[in-house]
Amino acid sequence: MTATAHETGASGPEPQSPGRRERKKQRTRDALVSAAFTLFAEKGFDATTVEEIADAVDVSSRTFFRYFASKEDVALTFQEEQTQAVVAALLSRPADEPIMTALRATVVGIARACENGELGFDPDRFECVLSMLSDSPALMAKSLERTQKKQNLMTRIIAQRLGVDPATDLRPHVIASAAMAGFNAAADAMRHHPETFVSVSETVDQAFAILEEGLNPDH
Amino acid sequence: MTATAHETGASGPEPQSPGRRERKKQRTRDALVSAAFTLFAEKGFDATTVEEIADAVDVSSRTFFRYFASKEDVALTFQEEQTQAVVAALLSRPADEPIMTALRATVVGIARACENGELGFDPDRFECVLSMLSDSPALMAKSLERTQKKQNLMTRIIAQRLGVDPATDLRPHVIASAAMAGFNAAADAMRHHPETFVSVSETVDQAFAILEEGLNPDH
DNA sequence: CTCAAATTGTCATGAGCTGACACTTGTCGT
DNA sequence: ACGACAAGTGTCAGCTCATGACAATTTGAG
C-alpha cells in the first residue's frame, strides 16, 4: 500500500502514461458508443439489441454490461459530460450575480456551445438522441431519471451559492426545479413543434425570460 | 356498434348490471393491486416479482400483464386517478382567475385532499410508493415518464385557458413546466428532508409562493 | 341449450441483466 | 527478464420482465 500506482478510478493524477490497459479500455468504450450510434441511426433504439452492438465491436455482450449499466446508458453518455459542463460553468459565474441570471447565462451558454459543437458533442448524435427520445419510452424514462439526479446536484450548488441550508430552506429546491423547468419547457416545445422553435439556446433564453417576469399573477 | 354494452373502461354509465364478467375483472384487478402492495411493503419493489404477485391472486403471470403493462404500472395506478382529479379541478376554476393562482389553488387543493384521504387515495399506499420511489430507479423512471405526459396535458389545458396556440407560444409550456417544478421541488424537499417538510399541501403552497415572487433577479 | 365472444392458462420465445469461474493480458517489483 | 498480482474478458448458466400464439374455459345472449 506504499504507492498504489494503478488507481483504477479516474482520479489518477499520474502525469505519465495512463498505461496501455487504460488506452485499450477507452478504445473499447469509444468503439461501443460509436457502433451503438451507427446501429441506432440505422434501425432505431428499440430494434437494436445489446448483442448486435457487442458483436459489431467483437466483444461479448457480457463485456458490454461491464462498460454500461444498460442499453440506455450508452445512448446517454453525453448527458454526463453535459452535466459536468453545466456545473463548471455555473461555478465560474461571479458570486454576486443574481442566481437566476447566473443560471440563465449558464444554461444558454452551454446550449450555444452544443449547437456549435464547441464541446465534444457531435450534433448528429445529439439529434439522433432527440429523435430516439421521442419514440422510445424506456430511453425517455432513463433520461428523465438522470435529469432528476442532475437537479439534486443543482439544488446543492444553488443552496451553497445562496448560503442557505437545503434541509430547511425551500428556495434552492424551487430554483433548481424552475431552472430545469425552463430547460424542459424549451425541450418540450421543440419536440412538439420543431418548425416554430428551432434554436435551442434562443428557446431556452425565452423560457427563462418568461420564468423571471411572467409568473406573478398579473396574467 | 349500437350499444357497446360492455365498456371495458371505467366509464360504464349503464344503470343496469355491468355484467358479472366486468365485476370479476374488476375484482381481479383490485386483488392484483392489493396483493402487489402487500408484497411491496413486505419485501420492497425490486425484490417482488410479478410471478409472486400473480400467484398471490392465483392467476398466471401472463394474466398479470393483461391488466398492467408493467410491474411499475401496478404501483403507479393512483397517479392516473390523481391526474384526472387535477384536470377536473383546474377546469372548474373561474376562467378570469390568473393562471398561476388557479394552478396553485388546484394543486394545493388536491394535495390537501390526498392528505385527508378524501379521494380514493389510501395514505398508507401513498407513503409506500414514496419510499419505493426512493430506492427503485426503475420505478422512479416510470413515474417521471408519466409526469412528463401529465405535463403535456397541462400544457394543452393552459394554452386553451390563455387562448394561445402552444405551437407558436412558449408561455403555456413554461407555465406547465413551472407548475410541475413547484410540485417537484416540494416532493424533492420532502424526500430528502422529511423532518423539515412535513405537510405536502403546505410545502407545495410555499413552493408556489417562491415561484411567483422570488424568481426575478433581485435575489 | 347452444353459439360467439371475452378471458385466462399454457407454452414458447426473446431481450436485458447478473453472478461465478476460468483464462488472458497488462503492470509492477525485484 | 521473470514471476506474482491485478484487471479485463469470455463463457456459461440463470433470473426476470414482457409478448405472441393457441387451446381451454367462462360468460352473456338468443
B202-214 pLDDT, tens digit each: 999 999 999 988 7
Dist CA B57 CA B134 (whole Å): 27
Do B186 and A196 count as a contact with CB atoms less than 8 A apart? no
- Shortest distance between the Cα of A152 and any Cα of chain B, in A, equals 8
More confident residue, B153 or B197: B153
Quickly tell me which residue has 465534444 as its cell: A120
Percent share of chain B, pLDDT over 90:
61
Burial B143-170 (b: 16+ CB within 10 A, else e): bbbbbbebbeebbebbbebeeeebeebb
Side chain identity at residue A142, one-letter code: K
> In sequence order, what DSSP letters do the residues of B73-134 get, joined into one string?
HHHSHHHHHHHHHHHHHHHTS-TTS-HHHHHHHHHHHHHHHHHTT-SS--HHHHHHHHHHHH
Mean pLDDT rounded to a whole number for chain B: 86
Low-confidence residues of chain A: pLDDT under 50? 1-16
Q: Touching check for B163 and chain A: CB below 8 Å?
A: no
**Residue A212 neighbours by CB distance under 10 Å:** 18
Name the pLDDT band for B81 (thresholds 50, 70, 90): confident
Q: Which of B8-17, B45-54, B179-188 has the lowest mean pLDDT?
A: B8-17
Side chain identity at residue B69, one-letter code: A
Dist CA A93 CA A81 (whole Å): 19
CATH number, domain B18-70, options 3.30.70.20, 1.10.10.60, 1.25.40.10, 2.30.300.10: 1.10.10.60
- Look at chain A and count its residues: 219
pLDDT of residue A123: 81
- What is the CATH code of the structural domain delimited by A76-212? 1.10.357.10
Q: Touching check for B159 and chain A: CB below 8 Å?
A: no
Asked whether A77 and A33 are in contact (CB, 8 A), the reply is: yes
Is the pTM for the entire model greater than 0.95?
A: no
Q: Which of B210, B214, B205 is nearest to B103 (CA)?
A: B205
Among A170, A214, A216, the residue with its CB nearest the CB of B189 is: A170
Q: Touching check for A214 and chain B: CB below 8 Å?
A: yes
Q: Tell me the CA–C1' distance in angstroms for B70 and D17.
A: 8
Name the pLDDT band for B122 (thresholds 50, 70, 90): confident
Q: Touching check for A96 and chain B: CB below 8 Å?
A: no
Do A181 and B174 count as a contact with CB atoms less than 8 A apart? yes
pLDDT of residue A218: 61
Domain boundaries for CATH 1.10.10.60 within chain A: 18-70
pLDDT in tens, B100-110: 999 999 999 99
CA B86 to chain centre: 9
Most confident of A48-62, B13-27, B114-128: A48-62
Residue B153 has pLDDT above 60, yes or no: yes
- Chain C bases closer than 7 A to any CB of the protein: 6-12, 14-20, 26-29
Dist CA A172 CA A190 (whole Å): 27
pLDDT of residue A5: 41
Q: Which nucleotide is nearest to B138 (CA to C1')?
A: D17
Domain boundaries for CATH 1.10.357.10 within chain B: 76-212
Name the pLDDT band for B216 (thresholds 50, 70, 90): low
- Shortest distance between the Cα of A116 and any Cα of chain B, in A, equals 24
Give CA torsion, residues A175, A72, A195, A38, to 10 deg. 140
pLDDT of residue A20: 80
**Residue A40 neighbours by CB distance under 10 Å:** 24
pLDDT of residue A1: 39
C-alpha cell read off for A110: 452551454
pLDDT of residue A126: 83
Q: Which of A98, A111, A99 is nearest to A203 (CA)?
A: A111
- Shortest distance between the Cα of A95 and any Cα of chain B, in A, equals 12
Quickly tell me which residue has 378524501 as its cell: B118
Residue B219 has pLDDT above 80, yes or no: no
pLDDT in tens, A35-57: 999 999 999 999 999 999 999 99
